[in-house]
Amino acid sequence: LPDDAVVVTAAGSSVGKPPSNVEIMDAQHWLEHLDTNENSSIPLNFAKPNKPVQATVLGRKRIITDDAPGDIQHIIMKLPEGMHYVEGQSLSVIPEGIDPKTNKKYSPRLYSIASTRYGDLLDGNTVSLCVRRAEYWDPATNTIDPSKKGVCSNMLCDALPGTQFNVAGPVGKTMLLPKNPSDDVIMVAT
């Protein structure tokens, strides 16, 4: 940091020099132009469902405790070079195979992107999805009915590192925040 650096609150008032034991680092900002530059638009449809690209699973982790019902996985995937997104967008994952109900290819499943535009690895080439495994608990048998499990959510939740998925997108508008950074923001997840 330069010698004249000061700590500034969200409201813009100066609170003095940072404590000597605190390391202040320059904020990552090299992808901010994706939705803040007047001459650019947010990234949309790098790939379309009829011409998807491959994303590779780098890892996944269960993010709820073992005693919680169901299964939710945090899945990190590497995207193709040049595929970017912004906060508030979604990614289509296209399951392999044929839907036995329609005898056609499975339709794309849309997942909200859970990471910032920099991804969990902060390299701008990864995306994170938090996926709840879709399964049906049959109260009559007190078991999970495998005939009613979600095709795509189960593929994602069972994926091992190196597994590749067809993806399309990103789609959707960016998350709109107030111009004043000190305004309150309430976020609700579904």
- Summarised one tens digit per residue, pLDDT across range 36-91 is 655 567 888 999 999 999 999 999 999 999 888 889 999 999 999 999 999 889 99
Q: Measured at the alpha carbon of residue 50, what is the angle toward residues 49 and 55, in degrees to the nearest 5?
A: 50
Q: What is the mean pLDDT of the chain?
A: 84
The predicted pLDDT at position 87 comes to 87
* Band of pLDDT at residue 102, cut at 50, 70 and 90: very high
Element (H, E) at 152: helix 151-158
pLDDT of 14 higher than 60 = no
Helix (H, G, I), strand (E, B) or coil at 29: coil
Residue 110 to residue 89: CA distance in whole angstroms: 10
The predicted pLDDT at position 190 comes to 58
Residues 6 or more apart whose CB falls under 8 angstroms from that of 103 comprise none
Residues 6 or more apart whose CB falls under 8 angstroms from that of 165 comprise 54, 55, 57, 77, 93, 94, 155, 156, 159
Residue 104 to residue 100: CA distance in whole angstroms: 8
pLDDT of 160 higher than 50 = yes
Cis amide linkage into residue 139, ω under 30° from 0: no
pLDDT of 162 higher than 90 = yes
Identify the top-confidence range among 9-13, 41-45, 112-116.
112-116
Residue 42 to residue 154: CA distance in whole angstroms: 30
Virtual CA dihedral for 110, 107, 170, 179, nearest 10 degrees? -40
Write down the residue that tokens 């902060």 correspond to.
Answer: 122
The predicted pLDDT at position 187 comes to 77
DSSP 61: E
The predicted pLDDT at position 19 comes to 62
